[in-house]
Amino acid sequence: MPSVDFKSILDEEEPAAWDGSIQAPECLADLNLDQVIDAIVGADDEYRLRPFFLSPLATARAVEYRHEVMRDLDSERTFGYVTEFASAMRRVREQLAKAVKVTPLQSQRLFLDALRTYSQAVVDFGKRLVSSPLNSRGLRSFGKYLSRYVASPAFGSRASSADTLLLELHSIMYSVHIKDNAVSVSRYEGQADYSDEVAETFAKFSQGESSSYVGPLRDSIDMSQVEERILSLVARLFPPTFAKLAEFRERNQGFIDPTIARFDREIQFYVAYKAYVARFIAGGLPICYPEVHAEPRTMFASDTYDAALADSLIARGASVVLNDVVLEDGERLIVVSGPNQGGKTTFARLFGQLHYLAGLGCPVPGRAARLALFDKILTHFEREEHVENLRSKLEDDLLRIHDILERATARSIIIVNEIFSSTTTSDAYFLARQIVERILALGARCVCVTFLDALASTDDRIVSMVSMVSPDDPAIRTYKVARRPAGGRSYAATIAEKHRLTHACVRARIEAAKQ
Amino acid sequence: MKAHLMYAGRDVAAGTTLPKYQHDVIQDLGLQTMINTMAAADDNIAQVARDSLLTSLSDIGSILYRQAALKDCIAHAGAVRELHDLAVETVNAERRGFLYGIPMVGKTPGSVLFWAINLLEMLEAQLQRLRRFADQHASEFTSPAFTTLFEMLQRELSDDYLESVRDHLRRLRFPNGLLLSAELGAGNKGASYVLRKGAAPESWIRRLFLGDSAGSYAFKIDDRDEAGLRALAALKDRGIALVAEALGRSTGHILAFFRMLRTELAFYVGCLNLHQALKSLGCPTCMPTPQEAAERKRSAAGLYDPALALALGRGVVENDLCADGKRLVVITGANRGGKSTFLRSVGLGQLMMQCGMFVAADRFEASVCEGLFTHYQREEDPTMQSGKFDEELFRMSSIVDDVVPNSLVLLNESFAATDAREGAEIARQVVSALTECGVNVYFVTHQYEYAQSIQATEESGALLLLAERREDGTRTFKIMPGAPLHTSHARDLYDRIFGRSGEQPPTFEASAVLRGREVSGGQS
pLDDT at B335: 65
Asked if the model's pLDDT at residue A491 lies above 50, the reply is: no
How far apart are the C-alpha atoms of B322 and B330, rounded to whole Å?
A: 13
Contact A198 B168 (CB under 8 A): yes
Q: Is the dihedral of CA B200, B202, B203, B209 positive or negative?
A: positive
Of all residues in chain A, the percent with pLDDT exceeding 90 is: 57
What are the structural domains, with CATH classification, of chain B? 1-16+55-200+226-274 (no CATH), 289-501 (3.40.50.300)
How far apart are the C-alpha atoms of A23 and A21, rounded to whole Å?
A: 6
Chain A residues closer than 8 Å to B195 by CB: 193-195
Asked if the model's pLDDT at residue A384 lies above 90, the reply is: no
| φ, ψ of residue A175 in degrees (nearest 5) | -110, 145
Mutate to test the interface with B, among A195, A201, A238 (most CBs of B within 10 A): A195
Asked if the model's pLDDT at residue A353 lies above 80, the reply is: yes
Q: Minimal Cα–Cα distance from A45 to chain B, Å?
A: 28
Chain A residues closer than 8 Å to B238 by CB: 217
Q: Minimal Cα–Cα distance from B131 to chain A, Å?
A: 15
Task: Compute how many other C-beta atoms are within 10 angstroms of the C-beta atom of residue A455.
Answer: 23
Q: Is the dihedral of CA B424, B427, B431, B432 positive or negative?
A: positive
How far apart are the C-alpha atoms of A247 and A27, rounded to whole Å?
A: 56
Q: Which residues, numbered 142 to 171 in chain A, qualify as contacts with chain B under a Cβ-Cβ cut-off of 8 Å?
A: 169-170
Q: What ipTM describes this predicted complex?
A: 0.71
User: Which carries the bigger pLDDT value, residue A198 or residue A214?
Assistant: A198
What are the structural domains, with CATH classification, of chain A? 57-187+224-276 (no CATH), 283-514 (3.40.50.300)
What average pLDDT values come out for chain B (524 residues) when binned by 10 residues?
84 69 86 94 93 91 96 96 95 70 65 88 94 95 95 94 93 90 91 80 50 73 92 91 88 90 95 96 96 93 94 91 90 78 95 96 95 79 48 78 87 74 74 84 82 70 79 73 61 48 40 31 31
Chain A residues closer than 8 Å to B223 by CB: 181
Query: What's the burial of A347, exposed, middle or buried (CB within 10 Å: 0-12/13-18/19+)?
Result: buried
Q: What is the helix (H) or strand (E) element at residue B391, kind and residue range? A: helix B385-402
pLDDT at A506: 33
How far apart are the C-alpha atoms of A2 and A100, rounded to whole Å?
A: 30
Q: What is the DSSP string of B309-370?
A: HHHHTS----EEEE-TT-SEEEEEE-TTSSHHHHHHHHHHHHHHHHTT--BSSSEEEEE--S
pLDDT averaged over chain A?
85
**Which residue in the set A170, A180, A185 is minimally distant from B217, CB to CB?**
A185
pLDDT at A507: 36
**Which residue in the set B2, B179, B228 is minimally distant from A226, CB to CB?**
B228
Q: Give strand pairing partners of A417.
A: A449
Asked if the model's pLDDT at residue A227 lies above 60, the reply is: yes
Contact A184 B2 (CB under 8 A): no
Closest chain B CA to residue A167: B184
How far apart are the C-alpha atoms of B256 and B249, rounded to whole Å?
A: 10
**Which residue in the set A188, A218, A221 is minimally distant from B186, CB to CB?**
A221
Give the mean model confidence (pLDDT) for residues A24-35. 90
Asked if the model's pLDDT at residue A15 lies above 80, the reply is: no
Tens-place pLDDT, residues A139-185: 999 999 999 999 999 999 999 999 999 999 999 999 999 998 999 99
User: Which carries the bigger pLDDT value, residue B269 or residue A217?
Assistant: B269
Chain B residues closer than 8 Å to A193 by CB: 194-197
Chain B residues closer than 8 Å to A197 by CB: 168, 197
